[in-house]
Amino acid sequence: MHAIEIKNLKKSYKNEVAVKDMDFYVEKGDFFGFIGPNGAGKTTTIQCIMGLLKFDGKISIFGNDNVIDYIEARKLIGFSPQEENLDPFLNVEQALHFTAGYYGLKKDKIKERVELMLKDFGLVKHRKKNTRALSGGMKRRLLLARSLVHDPKILILDEPTAAMDVELRQDFWKLMKRINGEGKTIMLTSHYIEEVEQLCNTICIVNEGKIIAMDKKETIMQDLSNQELKIKTNKPVPSDLIKVEACKIIHENTHTLVVGKDIRKKANGIIKIIEKAGIKIEEIDIRNESLEKVFLRITQTNANQSEALKITPEILKDKK
């Protein structure tokens, strides 16, 4: 049985189709990354899963139809929304108590879970603070704590790290890894593709209300990512010296960049040609394209199918 199963999901707002037709499932225990450009339909899909919107299609949560068996379905999910929706009349501790009570936890259990959440999310010191008095990062932490307080089997996070600084984000990553390791299924959307690359096992890329790629991270990377071979030489490599099938070659002064599939296998040949021409190689670097580049390329080529390989000289410059 899948943690989340979505069949023929369609959702339109008044004059806009936000989700065209989505079919996918999230496996139990998976860390599922749901990414796509702004307006792709991620939040709408999540709100349908949460039963916050009416939709066409069918959504099941561990076999519970989220319309018919909505009480069971809702209990199984913890949710941290993209837009903060904390009650301004409650303090941190009360916000957690209130949610735990809403899910029907017993008094002792509520106390235990609230204390654990305060501790896990670094909120012990702030427990008596009104939610309005919290910084953006702290509000995010409270939203996460609140989503987990009833110990759900599934955690759905819509842009959870948007207002977090680097340190907080790294703590969050550790915590999410731990929670997933403990068996919780996590569905995450994020603007930080790097975050999704680090955390998720399965990646689902959506654009304009449709899924354009979905698979295990390794398979997505193997199928869709290019490799980049960077060569620095003692003098410029003439632009007609190297030709590699189905690869893009960019020359910029003494830097040469070759981008394409299976570059690792082709690298030796390329190096030999350069050396044969009496040019000395000073540095070589070969690496896989990041998920972010794959993401940008395929969401852009989705809009413009003719450009199969979209590269700018920007990537010649080291970003580190």
Ligand X SMILES: Nc1ncnc2c1ncn2[C@@H]1O[C@H](COP(=O)(O)OP(=O)(O)O)[C@@H](O)[C@H]1O
275 forms part of the interface with ligand X (CB under 6 A): no
Residues 251, 244: Cα–Cα separation, whole Å:
14
Cβ of residue 160: shortest distance to ligand X, in angstroms? Answer: 13
Identity of the residue, 59 or 92, whose beta carbon is nearer to Mg ion in the bound complex: 59
Backbone φ, ψ for residue 119 (5° rounding): -70, -50
Mask of contacts with Mg ion, 60-99, x by CB under 5 A? ----------------------x-----------------
Identity of the residue, 12 or 82, whose beta carbon is nearer to Mg ion in the bound complex: 82
Identity of the residue, 110 or 204, whose beta carbon is nearer to ligand X in the bound complex: 204
Report the relative pairing of strands 56-61 and 64-65 from DSSP bridges: antiparallel
Question: Contact, 140 vs 162, CB < 8 A?
Answer: yes
43 forms part of the interface with Mg ion (CB under 5 A): yes
Question: Contact, 34 vs 213, CB < 8 A?
Answer: no
Residues 5-34 within binding reach of ligand X (CB under 6 A): 13, 16, 18
Question: Contact, 62 vs 1, CB < 8 A?
Answer: yes
Identity of the residue, 46 or 231, whose beta carbon is nearer to Mg ion in the bound complex: 46
User: Which of ligand X, Mg ion, none lies near 36, with the C-beta cut-off 5 to 8 A by kind?
Assistant: ligand X
Residues 114, 92: Cα–Cα separation, whole Å:
10
Longest dimension (CA), the chain: 79
Contacting range for Mg ion; rule: CB under 5 A; set: 38-46, 73-81, 125-133, 296-304: 38-46
Question: Contact, 290 vs 196, CB < 8 A?
Answer: no
Mask of contacts with ligand X, 32-71, x by CB under 6 A? ----x-xxxxxxx---------------------------
